[in-house]
Amino acid sequence: MGRVDDGYIAQISHEELEKTMDRHYGSRMNTLRVGETATVLSDGYDFREDIQQACKAMVDSINTFKRVQSSLFNLAEIIAHLPTEDES
């Protein structure tokens, strides 16, 4: 990697480039030719919103579970101690 003015020049494999641009699985990208450029950082998929929505859903789910946790635990204890068919 080398620095040029306000940017960098880097050597990267095609596979690494595809992974960086979230193109390694599914829609593969064409091989770049000499002189072509790729805006790697801006063309990649922005996972921020997906991660934020998943975290919010997880927090909501945990909060919902907290409200019924003791009831579910009591039910699980009852089921765990039910007699087996042999004991009936």
Report pLDDT digits (tens) over 25-52: 666 777 878 887 776 666 556 778 889 9
Q: Are 31 and 14 in contact (CB under 8 A)?
A: yes
Facing residues of 88 across strands? none
Where do we find the tokens 């997906």?
50
- Coil, strand or helix: which one is 43? helix
pTM of model > 0.75: no
Question: 53 versus 2: which is more confidently predicted?
Answer: 53
